[in-house]
Amino acid sequence: MNKILVLDIETTGFLDQGGSIVEIGIVELCLETGHTNVIFDSLLKEDILTAKHCEEPMGWIFRNSDLTPEKVRNAPPASEVLTKVQKILDDYPLGCTAYNKQFDFGFLKNRGIKINELPCPMILATDVCKLPNKNGYDNYKWPSVEEAWNHFFPTIQYDELHRGADDAKHEALIVYELHKLGVFELN
């Protein structure tokens, strides 16, 4: 079995702001064929979710996707969803990654989720995409998902939806391209 997981979460803000997870999508990626399969896609409602999560400086997700606070308020409780996520992660011994995994995994580990972490595709794509760093640094800029997508798939239009499963599916295809180049390797 040469299958790994690519995970994407949507939140109302950053972890250090007290952001709340509102959606988790998980895609299975076969590293031999590049085949992807959405195996989990769920909204969730954390107990910490309040009106402040919909306002500046939080609430970015509600302004930049089709997610609404009403959809999240009617979502299954986080405890139920996170239990399912842990079971899925446990079922894939080769591990899991996420684009900008420090962000996604930071939230999940904070919520008690145990993850067999694979390398971060955003970090790995940096030296492949070679985007100039506009902050005056000599090194390359970390590519956004759309920038990495445009590098690997220049003829296929993609506008990031900022929805868990859709983002994870596109990110999985980027991981596969990195794997084919020999840049993304299993631990």
pLDDT score of 118: 98
pLDDT score of 108: 98
**pTM, 2 dp:** 0.96
**Token pair in block for residue 23:** 């959606």
DSSP secondary structure string for all residues of 17-69: GT--EEEEEEEEEETTT--EEEEEEEE-B-TT--GGGGSTTS-HHHHSSS--H
d(CA 2, CA 168): 18
pLDDT tens for residues 72-83? 999 999 999 999
pLDDT tens for residues 142-185? 999 999 999 999 999 999 999 999 999 999 999 999 999 999 99
**Architecture of the domain whose range is 3-180:** 2-Layer Sandwich (3.30)
User: For the chain, which residues score pLDDT lower than 50?
Assistant: none
| List of E strands, the chain | 3-11, 21-30, 36-43, 96-97
pLDDT score of 19: 97
Q: Where are the domains of the chain?
A: 3-180
pLDDT score of 177: 98
Cβ-based burial of 171 (10 A; exposed 0-12, middle 13-18, buried ≥19): buried
pLDDT score of 134: 83
